[in-house]
A and B are shown apart, each in its own frame.
Chain A
Amino acid sequence: MITFLQQLINGISQGSAYALIALGYTMVYGVLRLINFAHSDVYMFGAFMGYYIANNRTFQARMGTSLFSAMVVMLLAMVLSAGLGIIIERFAYRPGRTKTRFTLAFWLGVLGAAFGDLLGHSFAAVVGGALAGIAVGVVGELAGFRPVQQDTRLGLLIIAIGVSLFLENGGQLVFGADPKLFPEILPSKSLNIGPLNLDSPKLIVLGVSIVLMILLNVVVNYTKTGKAMRAVSFNVDAAKLMGINTDRIIAATFAMGSALAAAGGILVSLLYPKIEPLMGVNPGLKAFVAAVLGGIGNIPGAMVGGLVLGMAEVMAVWLGSSTYRDAIAFVVLILILLFKPEGIMGKGLVEKV
């Protein structure tokens, strides 16, 4: 019984990590009908941001190790990741639906920076390459290279895959492919509640996740932005007609989802300190399954889906097969898609003939 409760707690804390990531998938799908493959890499980015901030000497000197400083690390990482999310939306997904400028400049600038690093291995080379790329991009745009309207979801999906791979390999390039150890920024205490042995990181993960999810609920259901988000997820055109700046709302959605993913990244790194640029692939896939399980596009569904999947995994490991832990997610995905594709809480989307 005790171990069962123990496993329950494990499952919930694992599940809340999945839920945090799943929320990002579901929110973006809600407003854009896009499976943002790149989301899992924002999770990774968040963890790495946390790593660099926490390891920063100045930061360590000023903040020390405490619950508060850990929260600051997480908050900063969330802000930076929100920024990344906004950038991704702006330069990868938005060109296909709204007139934008400097898209080519951005991507060529990044390519140039990577190239510069390749050739020169110095900061100057990177900057030089970036500037060269931006210049070519601006010229190209002036010459008439304009983004094409992305009518199909297929196109957006391919772009999303491209961005995801870009982030993963870019991460390997910038952060180095070798795994790093996330610093211990939390005082590690063991709590004994009755017969249960809980260590504080797990409780923190649980606690913070709950707080974040409550916050998200408040934002989505009680603020104007949240209302606008819901409007956009129902009908983009109608939302536009109601005076909602849909591009800004979509950007905000990405920002929120990315921040949550980053939080997830930090929280998971507290429990499992090994981080590396491909760390997002597996949890990302599972979180996506969780989002589908709960009903893609459905925010409470993502939370429920995450918890259910987390529990299912922990139970499966406990009951026998740890080798097949990763397979659980796939099996769940296939079963859900075959039998109830709209998920536990979702509503089916009917196509009008």
Chain B
Amino acid sequence: MRKAIFWIAAVLILAGLQTQLVGWIGAYYYKIVILAGINIILAVSLNLINGITGQFSIGHAGFYAIGAYTSASLVHYGESAIRGTVAFLPRFGQDTVLLLLGILVAAIAAGLAGVAVGIPSLRLRGDYLAIVTLGFGEIIRVLILNIDAIGGARGFSDIPPLSNFFFFWVFLFVLMTVGTIHNLVNSSYGRAFISIRDDEIAAEAMGVDTTRFKVLSFVISSMFAGIGGSLFGHYTAYLNPNSFTFVTSFYLIIMIVVGGLGSIGGSILGAILVTVILEAFRSLSEFRLVGFSILLVLVMIYRPQGLMGSRGMFKFKRRAAVAK
């Protein structure tokens, strides 16, 4: 009952905000808010693998890309067919169906990719897993570059805009992402993920099938990345492989590290912070990355647990006198 009330209230509030927001803050800031929302979805989902389950994945952009392109392709190529089946609905209804279908397909495609990447890679030790996920992200990007049907290097335009209410949709899914992962963490599944992070051998000994759970966290995480991608694609109505490079994955890593690995609130905070800073320094493209990389190094050297602390990931140990 309380849950139902919460969601109805959320829908109403988001819808209300949607109608007013552009008027209040203007189109430019509206866009930033939406991008921040998409980044929250990506960061919180990445945090599930890296922060909560303790597996090092640095190819999240790959799943993001898969979600974006699958959704865009479905809608671009299947639009007429799908509209045909729901022709009885008003235009608005048809658009919504298309959008939701795109999101669903994106989640499934990205999830499947998560399985494909996860199963072989998750047997690997930390640093190797990182390399493989990095490689995977790059492979996806190169593949997209070479497929003309989705635009290749020129990019995929002609993605039908399906909504004017992206604030509503994006933040609805933000709530769903955060809610899902938060609930997961506070269940048997969450404890299993965390136990894998803390001590895989002990976790196995206590009956946790670590391989299965690592893959599970990978798949859940990639599904949400796919959803983020779908929203991104339909919002911007244009996709280009350059939006899905290693640098994108790197930004996501910064978000969750600065926010605090393992902390959902931290990932939200980190996503907002990084999105805003990236926007603010947009004109200084090279300096941006120089500044961010130094920031990442400094955070890791001085406060690896980030802003909101990360229970156990990097314990805040004041240096005991390690004599030189």
Q: Which residues of A contact B (CB under 8 A)?
A: 34-35, 92, 95-99, 103-104, 107, 110-111, 114-115, 118, 145-155, 157-159, 161-166, 168-170, 172-173, 177, 247, 285, 288, 292, 326-327, 330, 333-334, 337-338, 341, 351, 353
**Could you list some 18 contacts between A and B, CB below 8 A?**
A111-B291, A111-B294, A118-B287, A147-B301, A148-B302, A148-B303, A148-B316, A150-B300, A154-B56, A158-B253, A158-B257, A163-B293, A168-B289, A177-B286, A247-B324, A326-B142, A327-B142, A351-B201
A145: which B residues are within 8 A, CB to CB?
Answer: 302
Q: How far is the CB of A257 from chain B (nearest CB, A)?
A: 17
Flag whether B290 is at the interface (Cβ < 8 A): yes
A114's partner among B121, B257, B290 (CB-CB below 8 A) is B290
Flag whether B72 is at the interface (Cβ < 8 A): no
In the bound complex, how far is the Cα of B300 from the Cα of A165, in angstroms? 15
B159: which A residues are within 8 A, CB to CB?
Answer: none
In the bound complex, how far is the Cα of B257 from the Cα of A154, in angstroms? 11
B29: which A residues are within 8 A, CB to CB?
Answer: none
In the bound complex, how far is the Cα of B289 from the Cα of A92, in angstroms? 17
Whether the Cβ atoms of B286 and A153 lie closer than 8 Å is no
B292: which A residues are within 8 A, CB to CB?
Answer: 165
3 pairs of A and B residues whose beta carbons are closest in the complex: A166-B293, A162-B296, A169-B289
Q: How far is the CB of B197 from chain A (nearest CB, A)?
A: 10
B247: which A residues are within 8 A, CB to CB?
Answer: 165
A148: which B residues are within 8 A, CB to CB?
Answer: 301-304, 314, 316-319
B54: which A residues are within 8 A, CB to CB?
Answer: 154
B127's partner among A35, A115, A173, A326 (CB-CB below 8 A) is A35
In the bound complex, how far is the Cα of B141 from the Cα of A327, in angstroms? 12
Q: How far is the CB of A83 from chain B (nearest CB, A)?
A: 19
Whether the Cβ atoms of A107 and B294 lie closer than 8 Å is yes
In the bound complex, how far is the Cα of B301 from the Cα of A166, in angstroms? 15
Whether the Cβ atoms of B302 and A165 lie closer than 8 Å is no
B5: which A residues are within 8 A, CB to CB?
Answer: none
In the bound complex, how far is the Cα of B140 from the Cα of A329, in angstroms? 15
In the bound complex, how far is the Cα of B261 from the Cα of A286, in angstroms? 30
Knowing A99-B322, A157-B56, A353-B201 touch, does A118 contact B297 (C-beta < 8 A)?
no
Whether the Cβ atoms of A159 and B56 lie closer than 8 Å is no
Flag whether B130 is at the interface (Cβ < 8 A): yes
Whether the Cβ atoms of A173 and B120 lie closer than 8 Å is no
Whether the Cβ atoms of B250 and A333 lie closer than 8 Å is no
B319: which A residues are within 8 A, CB to CB?
Answer: 99, 146-149
Whether the Cβ atoms of A173 and B250 lie closer than 8 Å is no
In the bound complex, how far is the Cα of B138 from the Cα of A114, in angstroms? 29
Whether the Cβ atoms of B294 and A166 lie closer than 8 Å is yes
A96: which B residues are within 8 A, CB to CB?
Answer: 301
In the complex, residue of chain B having the shortest beta-carbon distance to the beta carbon of A29: B127
A150: which B residues are within 8 A, CB to CB?
Answer: 300-301, 304
Q: How far is the CB of B24 from chain A (nearest CB, A)?
A: 33
In the bound complex, how far is the Cα of B301 from the Cα of A266, in angstroms? 33
In the bound complex, how far is the Cα of B314 from the Cα of A159, in angstroms? 14
B290: which A residues are within 8 A, CB to CB?
Answer: 111, 114, 166, 169-170, 173
Contact bitstring B22-62, A, C-beta under 8 A = 1, else 0: 00000000000000000000000000000000101010000
Whether the Cβ atoms of B297 and A162 lie closer than 8 Å is yes
Whether the Cβ atoms of A161 and B253 lie closer than 8 Å is yes
In the complex, residue of chain A having the shortest beta-carbon distance to the beta carbon of B288: A169
A152: which B residues are within 8 A, CB to CB?
Answer: 313-314
A99's partner among B291, B317, B324 (CB-CB below 8 A) is B324
Whether the Cβ atoms of B287 and A338 lie closer than 8 Å is no
Whether the Cβ atoms of A172 and B321 lie closer than 8 Å is no
Flag whether B206 is at the interface (Cβ < 8 A): no
B112: which A residues are within 8 A, CB to CB?
Answer: none
Whether the Cβ atoms of A149 and B320 lie closer than 8 Å is yes
B316: which A residues are within 8 A, CB to CB?
Answer: 148
Flag whether B124 is at the interface (Cβ < 8 A): yes
Flag whether B264 is at the interface (Cβ < 8 A): no
Whether the Cβ atoms of A158 and B300 lie closer than 8 Å is yes
Whether the Cβ atoms of A333 and B135 lie closer than 8 Å is yes
In the bound complex, how far is the Cα of B300 from the Cα of A151, in angstroms? 11
Whether the Cβ atoms of A153 and B304 lie closer than 8 Å is no
Flag whether B126 is at the interface (Cβ < 8 A): yes
Flag whether B132 is at the interface (Cβ < 8 A): yes
Whether the Cβ atoms of A172 and B56 lie closer than 8 Å is no
Whether the Cβ atoms of A338 and B120 lie closer than 8 Å is yes
Whether the Cβ atoms of B301 and A172 lie closer than 8 Å is no
A353: which B residues are within 8 A, CB to CB?
Answer: 201
In the complex, residue of chain A having the shortest beta-carbon distance to the beta carbon of B254: A162
Q: How far is the CB of A171 from chain B (nearest CB, A)?
A: 9
In the bound complex, how far is the Cα of B88 from the Cα of A93, in angstroms? 63
Whether the Cβ atoms of B131 and A35 lie closer than 8 Å is yes
Knowing A111-B291, A153-B126 touch, does A337 contact B301 (C-beta < 8 A)?
no
In the complex, residue of chain A having the shortest beta-carbon distance to the beta carbon of B292: A165
In the bound complex, how far is the Cα of B290 from the Cα of A162, in angstroms? 9
Q: How far is the CB of B3 from chain A (nearest CB, A)?
A: 36
Flag whether B284 is at the interface (Cβ < 8 A): yes
Flag whether B9 is at the interface (Cβ < 8 A): no
